[in-house]
Amino acid sequence: MKSRNIKNLRIIRILLGAPGGSLTKYRIAKLAECSTSWVIEFLRKLEKRKLVKETKVLDFHRLVDYYIQVMPKMKHFEFFVQEPLRLLKKSKLDYALTTYGAENFTSRHLFPSRYDIYIKEQDIDKWKSLITKIGLLGKGNLRLILTIDYRALKEAKKIKGIRIVSMPQLLIDLKREGGVCIEAYNLLVRNNV
């Protein structure tokens, strides 16, 4: 993915994390690791779409939809593991849990039927080796998603020994997942935004 698209996605996640407009353009640029002029230009594009005014989010749901629309499709691998959380707690590899598993950690509306984790692309062979010692290849309860932006891993927070994606990333992933995750998305937005 082009670095310009990654920067734009970072800016949107930052705006979703502080929708009230409390962040300056300079602060957004620092957090997104890009120039202030880049932030100003991208915010103008979002303003034309009536999604933001300056750094204030005008339409949270449409901004999430825009993110989902412009984000590239990510490659993933599926496995079955007896105790995915135990595997994650013991792993020394970098990851960030999202969707069902992450939502269950934060607000407990969804049954964690699958554990989706973002990982670094260069770590895929290490993860496969680790998982195949205790689990099986193929559709199951653990999905490794090759992240397009390492910041998704850096923004993760540790909760009860498990690294969870940031709230904006979780909201985006839940809405993108669809189905029952939409209800969890709506409840999280109502309680956190």
Statement to judge: residues 181 and 95 lie in one domain: yes
Average pLDDT along the chain:
94
Domain final residue pick, 24, 55, 70: 70
Average pLDDT value for residue range 155-179: 96
Residue 146's pLDDT is 97
Domain final residue pick, 38, 70, 102: 70
pLDDT at 113 over 50: yes
Statement to judge: residues 87 and 126 lie in one domain: yes
Is the pTM higher than 0.85?
A: yes
Which CATH number characterizes residue 48's domain? Answer: 1.10.10.10
Residue 2 confidence class, pLDDT cut points 50, 70, 90: low
pLDDT at 1 over 50: no
Which of 70, 76, 102 has the alpha carbon at shortest distance from 181?
102
Residue 4's pLDDT is 61
| Number of independent structural domains in the chain | 2
Instruction: Provide, rounded to the nearest whole percent, the portion of the chain with pLDDT above 90.
Output: 87
In this structure, are residues 15 and 49 in contact, taking their beta carbons and an 8 Å threshold? no
Task: Give the model confidence (pLDDT) of 81-112 as tens digits.
Answer: 999 999 999 999 999 999 999 999 889 899 99
Task: Give the model confidence (pLDDT) of 32-64 as tens digits.
Answer: 999 999 999 999 999 999 999 999 999 999 999
Domain span at residue 35?
3-70
In this structure, are residues 109 and 183 in contact, taking their beta carbons and an 8 Å threshold? yes
Statement to judge: residues 15 and 97 lie in one domain: no
Statement to judge: residues 127 and 51 lie in one domain: no
Distances, alpha carbon 106 to alpha carbons 30, 131, 141, in Å: 27, 25, 19
Which CATH number characterizes residue 122's domain? Answer: 3.30.460.40
Q: In the beta sheet, which residues pair with residue 98?
A: 116
Statement to judge: residues 15 and 57 lie in one domain: yes
